[in-house]
């Protein structure tokens, strides 16, 4: 008889994991606290309306047979379009050969994945909010919509219930469970650039737009309805431009006129949306172990990261892919073995992407506006063009390959050291195009052997 597997949370990661498990012929139940948002759009979560899907996520979808279903709902973004304070823009390709990341609506995407889990035969229970988990006896208590409770028991429990996971809370009672969470100093608010009067995109739809302003920034991703979803990242307090000092939509208009003037002219509903939309916090969590007594954490429940590398969901999908691979390899006779292998393989990688995501805020909001940084990016792009296999920029390793995050991190640090050296030349802005690129490449081995 198959073990009964209970997945807690039908977000992006829980839904994809449900598909994988059903495809292995396992008995899966998914419990979700929200109402069924496929029938009731208002039940959809108000958090981050669109997101960037990249190689790791696409690979996991392809393996589950879902890539073809998802692609028609995506828009390719081939690079960043930077907006300076005077309204000038310039384009920086993400990679070579038209490499792109894909903008997709969170709700549509979640709907497709959930629909597939349903179609494959997963039992999905909405309005089931996990109240408590008894890890020792593998029992879960749910709070239902009418206020009553329901208890279930399960051979295997997988917590895909996001950054504030109830299963992780239950792990906290275990001895030797480490948990760390950090709300960063910045929060975010989502706003919208509508389509133009004649129904077109108001800006280049093939780019992720960034208005870098040092300690704060605005970004925008295109939507299929020809609008853009903008995300304003600001410190909560303590600076001239921060959420604490923007009291209402009128103040927001002033900030936009001053710092994001070209965007301001495309946002007729800015003041109203600013007042209406919530300001949300950003959390980073790390914990270990991820598994206790046939219970396992995956996705944000195991490792919530800040969104500055666009990898949280992609990383969670990679969790599903790797867990599925291990189930394929070791079978389901010993879940403890599979879960133990999973956490050992995965933890160094999620630690690496967590660090990279934190670091990338500085790159996106500050360095991108620095002309010297752009020269550095051009040198790296040239190295990649000349030596495509030997020198791959860190962003490309993370976004366009499935090299482990920890390997990408280590290689990235090595390349950073060499680039720091190259950039020390005071004449670099004038001669960057005629450098001895082979010599730069050769320094990789020299630095590695030190
Ligand atoms: C502003 C922002 C932008 C982002 N952009 C990107 C991006 O461009 N690319 C990218 O890869 N990642 C991005 N991310 C990260 C991404 O959103 C997350 O990594 C991803 O949503 C994690 O999926 P998950 O299923 O693990 O958790 P969640 O999406 O949080 O889903 C958890 C599910 O569990 C349910 N749940 C929670 N508690 C309970 C409970 N007690 N009982 C029952 N059900 C419960 C929830 O309702 C939800 O359905 C972004 C994040 C933010 C905040």
Closest CA to 18 of 38, 34, 39, 32: 32
Burial zone of 408 (CB within 10 Å; 0-12 exposed, 13-18 middle, 19+ buried): buried
Q: In terms of domains, do 239 and 309 share one? A: no
Domain residues for the domain of 226 are 183-281
**pLDDT value of position 1:** 46
**pLDDT value of position 111:** 95
With tokens 């934190």, the residue in question is: 358
C-alpha 162 to ligand 1 mean position (Å): 5
Give the residue from 254, 281, 308 where a domain finishes: 281
CA-CA distance, 126 to 143, in Å (whole number)?
A: 11
Residue range 118-135, pLDDT digits in tens: 999 999 999 999 999 999
CATH number at residue 159: 3.50.50.60
C-alpha 330 to ligand 1 mean position (Å): 29
C-alpha 51 to ligand 1 mean position (Å): 11
Is 297's C-beta closer than 6 angstroms to any atom of ligand 1? no
Is 113's C-beta closer than 6 angstroms to any atom of ligand 1? no
Q: In terms of domains, do 221 and 143 share one? A: no
Structure tokens at 76: 């390719």
Give the residue from 261, 281, 301 where a domain finishes: 281
Is 38's C-beta closer than 6 angstroms to any atom of ligand 1? no
Task: List strands edge to edge, sheet with 207-212.
Answer: 89-93, 79-83, 207-212, 217-222, 228-235, 178-193, 279-288
> Which ligand 1 atom is at minimum distance from the Cα of 131?
41
C-alpha dihedral sign at 303, 308, 312, 314: negative
Reading the chain (450 residues) residue by residue, the pLDDT tens digits are 456 999 999 999 999 999 999 999 999 999 999 999 877 665 455 555 899 999 999 999 999 999 999 999 999 999 999 999 999 999 999 987 789 999 999 999 999 999 999 999 999 999 999 999 999 999 999 999 999 999 999 999 999 999 999 999 999 988 789 999 999 999 999 999 999 999 999 999 999 999 999 999 999 999 999 999 999 999 999 999 999 999 999 999 999 999 999 999 999 999 999 999 999 999 999 999 999 999 999 999 999 999 999 999 999 999 999 999 999 999 999 999 999 999 999 999 999 999 999 998 877 777 777 788 889 999 999 999 999 999 999 999 999 999 999 999 999 999 999 999 999 999 999 999 999 999 999 988 777 776
CA-CA distance, 78 to 90, in Å (whole number)?
A: 13
**pLDDT value of position 402:** 95
Is 31's C-beta closer than 6 angstroms to any atom of ligand 1? yes
C-alpha 104 to ligand 1 mean position (Å): 14
Give the residue from 360, 382, 410 where a domain finishes: 360
Q: In terms of domains, do 117 and 222 share one? A: no
Nearest CA to ligand 1 atom 1: 48
C-alpha 45 to ligand 1 mean position (Å): 9
- The answer as to whether 89 is a domain residue is no
């Amino acid at each position: 008889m198959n073990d009964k597997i209970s997945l807690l949370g039908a977000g992006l990661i829980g839904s994809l994991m449900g598909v994988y498990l059903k495809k292995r012929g396992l008995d899966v139940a998914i419990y979700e606290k929200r109402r069924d948002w496929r029938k009731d759009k208002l039940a959809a979560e108000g958090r981050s309306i669109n997101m960037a899907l990249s190689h790791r996520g696409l690979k996991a979808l392809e393996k589950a047979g879902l890539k073809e279903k998802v692609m028609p709902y995506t828009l390719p973004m081939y690079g960043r379009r930077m907006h300076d304070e005077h309204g000038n823009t310039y384009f920086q390709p993400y990679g070579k050969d038209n490499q792109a990341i894909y903008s997709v609506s969170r709700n549509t995407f979640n709907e497709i994945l959930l629909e597939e889990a349903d179609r494959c035969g997963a039992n999905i229970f909405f309005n089931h909010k996990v109240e408590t988990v008894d890890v020792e006896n593998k029992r879960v208590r749910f709070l239902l919509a009418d206020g009553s409770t329901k208890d279930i028991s399960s051979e295997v429990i997988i917590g895909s219930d996001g950054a504030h996971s109830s299963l992780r809370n239950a792990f906290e009672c275990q001895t030797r469970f480490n948990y760390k969470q950090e709300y960063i100093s910045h929060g975010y608010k989502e706003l919208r650039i509508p389509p133009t009067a004649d129904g077109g995109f108001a800006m280049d739809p093939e780019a992720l737009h960034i208005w870098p302003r040092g300690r704060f920034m605005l970004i925008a991703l295109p939507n299929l309805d020809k609008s853009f979803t903008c995300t304003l990242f600001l410190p909560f307090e303590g600076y001239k431009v921060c959420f604490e000092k923007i009291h209402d939509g009128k103040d927001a208009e002033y900030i936009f006129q001053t710092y994001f003037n070209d965007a301001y002219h495309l946002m007729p509903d800015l003041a109203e949306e600013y007042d209406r939309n919530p300001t949300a916090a950003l959390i980073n969590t790390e914990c270990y172990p991820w598994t206790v007594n046939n219970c396992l954490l995956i996705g944000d429940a195991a490792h919530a990261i800040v969104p500055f590398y666009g990898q949280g969901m992609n990383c969670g999908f990679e969790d599903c892919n790797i867990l599925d691979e291990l189930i394929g390899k070791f079978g389901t006779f010993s879940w403890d073995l599979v879960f133990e292998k999973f956490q050992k393989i995965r933890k160094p990688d999620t630690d690496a992407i967590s660090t990279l995501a934190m670091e990338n805020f500085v790159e996106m909001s500050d360095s991108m506006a620095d002309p010297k940084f752009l020269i550095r990016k051009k040198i790296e792009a040239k190295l990649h063009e000349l030596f495509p296999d030997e020198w791959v920029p860190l962003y490309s390793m993370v976004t366009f390959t499935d090299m482990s995050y920890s390997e990408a991190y280590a290689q990235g640090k090595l390349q950073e050291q060499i680039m720091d050296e190259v950039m020390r030349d005071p004449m670099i802005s004038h001669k960057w195009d005629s450098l001895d690129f082979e010599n730069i490449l050769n320094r990789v081995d020299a630095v590695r052997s030190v």
